[in-house]
Amino acid sequence: MSNRLFEVFPLPEVMNADCSVCQHRALLAENKCVKGDICVTAQSGRQIDRFLKRNPQFAQDYLHDDFWERRAIAARYAPLEMVRILPQDVDEVVRRVVASRLPINELNEYLHDKDREVRMTVAERIAPEQLMNLLGDEDYLVRFQVAKRLPHGQLRRMTFDPDREVRKEVARRLPAFALGLMANDEDAEVRRIVASRMLPVEAAKMLSDNDWLVRLEAAQLAPLELVAELVDDVEPDVRAVVRQRLNDFLVGDN
């Protein structure tokens, strides 16, 4: 996820403000602001953040500042009651900060924000029962966050997601008994995850997969009597796993 905070690098003379006209100049004597290092009026995100972290009582005064980065940092430190009444900001970084602070039951107006990272922030925080609202989001990274948190009983809805990274996450979380739904996924990486987590009887269905890594995973789980058919598999790693399982069985039987 990109983060525009602290990515502004103006020239030093622009970054450093004129302390003689600053309303906070009295703080210099208390070491609560330092020219060129801790300054809320500088055009430097790092200086602004240091100032408001040290002096959070002033944060609410900058929630409507003209500089987007000052507003975003102010939203981090201002009292929640002031942040929650802010109208939606024109800048996505500010909206992202706000979405990260609002109570989870107050995020509805950010569910369909035009910026994907705002929606990702929402997807990371909203109550699980609200995640269905983002199931069809246009951005795969938002849907990926949904797949990471969606209750198991609803994950079936995402088994045919158009993006393989989303489906891989679904395959990692779907209960073993339901993984058969993804046994024929078009992507081998998805099928490998599926084959590594299936119930043994279901894994047997993957022994004839055209991807040898899928067969390798299935060979470690499927019932031994069915795995034996791969003893002469074209891939040496698959043959090795099968023969090791057979040898372990014979040793244990003795």
**DSSP state string for 23-59:** TTGGGGTTTS-BTTTB-SSSS-HHHHHHHHHH-GGGG
pLDDT surpasses 70 at 160: yes
* Average pLDDT rounded to a whole number, residues 47-76: 96
CA distances from 39 to 54, 69, 134 (A): 10, 13, 40
What is the four-CA torsion angle of 162, 194, 124, 127, rounded to 10 degrees? 100
* Average pLDDT rounded to a whole number, residues 228-238: 93
CA–CA dist 44, 195 (Å, integer): 51
Fold of the 151-254 domain: Leucine-rich Repeat Variant (1.25.10)
In the numeric block, the tokens 């290092």 are attached to 37
Q: Count of CB atoms within 10 A of residue 97's CB? A: 24
CA–CA dist 16, 59 (Å, integer): 19
Q: Identical fold at 1-102 and 151-254?
A: yes
Give percent of the chain with pLDDT exceeding 70.
Answer: 91
* Per-residue pLDDT at 18: 75
* Per-residue pLDDT at 28: 73
Domain residue spans of the chain? 1-102, 151-254
Collect all residues with Cβ–Cβ distance below 8 Å to 52 and sequence separation of at least 6: 40, 58, 59, 62, 73, 74, 76, 77
Q: Using 50, 70 and 90 to split pLDDT, how confident is the model at 3?
A: low
Q: Using 50, 70 and 90 to split pLDDT, how confident is the model at 13?
A: very low
Q: How open is the CA angle 176-143-187, to the nearest 5 degrees?
A: 55
CA–CA dist 112, 25 (Å, integer): 42
Q: Using 50, 70 and 90 to split pLDDT, how confident is the model at 254?
A: low
In 3D, which of 59, 81, 82, 54 has the Cα closest to residue 70?
Answer: 59
* Per-residue pLDDT at 10: 42
Collect all residues with Cβ–Cβ distance below 8 Å to 95 and sequence separation of at least 6: 88, 89, 110, 113, 115, 118
Q: Specify whether domain 1-102 bears CATH 1.25.10.10.
A: yes
Give percent of the chain with pLDDT exceeding 90.
Answer: 80
Average pLDDT value over all residues in the chain: 90
* Per-residue pLDDT at 14: 42
pLDDT surpasses 80 at 138: yes
CA–CA dist 117, 135 (Å, integer): 16
pLDDT surpasses 70 at 5: no
Q: How open is the CA angle 238-241-247, to the nearest 5 degrees?
A: 140
* Average pLDDT rounded to a whole number, residues 118-134: 95
* Per-residue pLDDT at 11: 39
pLDDT surpasses 90 at 86: yes
pLDDT surpasses 70 at 15: no
- 3-class SS at 177? helix
* Per-residue pLDDT at 34: 87
Q: Where are the alpha helices (DSSP H) in 43-139?
A: 45-54, 68-77, 80-83, 92-101, 116-125
* Per-residue pLDDT at 9: 40
